[in-house]
Amino acid sequence: MYEQLDKRDPAIRAEIAARFNGRIPYNQAIGLRVVDVATERVVTALDYRECFLGDPGAGLWHTAVGMAAADSTCGLAVFLALPGLETIATLDLRMDYLRPAVAEQGLWIEAECYHVTRCVGFVRATLHQGDRERAVSLCTAAFMRTGKQIKP
């Protein structure tokens, strides 16, 4: 019956995303929030925390915090793009660090799963601090489909 889920319905997408995110302890630990999943462009955010800094002197986030959030957000985008509730695993992920994220400001992650094959979901993401035209980092990743449906 889960194959029949209408994943175009924003309310259903929001429900799936909330459950997906709530089940992942590390997302909860860093406080990753689901912001908008109404469309294929999946948006999450992290509020600034001091423990996210990589360079406290210069007041810069560590790049790996955004990467971990990008992994989760890309996974969510693929999960929402697949039929049913199929489990997935990250195959590979690449980050391009365009400019540092600055302290005291949050970080937004916008991911889009742009292609799905029988075995793989391809996804890309943009990380920014409020201005999408000034990306902090870009991410591309591939997720493997396991073929297994999550049991409710």
**Angle at Cα 119 formed by Cα 146 and Cα 64, nearest 5°?**
75
C-beta of residue 94 within 8 angstroms of C-beta of residue 141: yes
Residue 111 touches another protein, criterion: CB under 8 A: no
Q: Cβ of residue 13: shortest distance to another protein, in angstroms?
A: 21
Counting contacts by CB under 8 A, is residue 6 touching another protein? no
Q: Does 69 bind another protein (CB under 8 A)?
A: yes
* Site size with another protein, rule: CB under 8 A: 36
Place of tokens 């799905």: 116
- What is the smallest separation between the CB atom of 48 and another protein, expressed in angstroms? 12
What span, in angstroms and rounded, lies between the C-alpha atoms of 67 and 139? Answer: 8
**Parallel, antiparallel, or unpaired for β 60-61 and 86-97?**
unpaired
The answer to the question of residue 96 lying near another protein (CB under 8 A) is yes
Site string for another protein, 18-57 (x = CB under 8 A): -----xxxxxxx--------------------xxxxxxxx
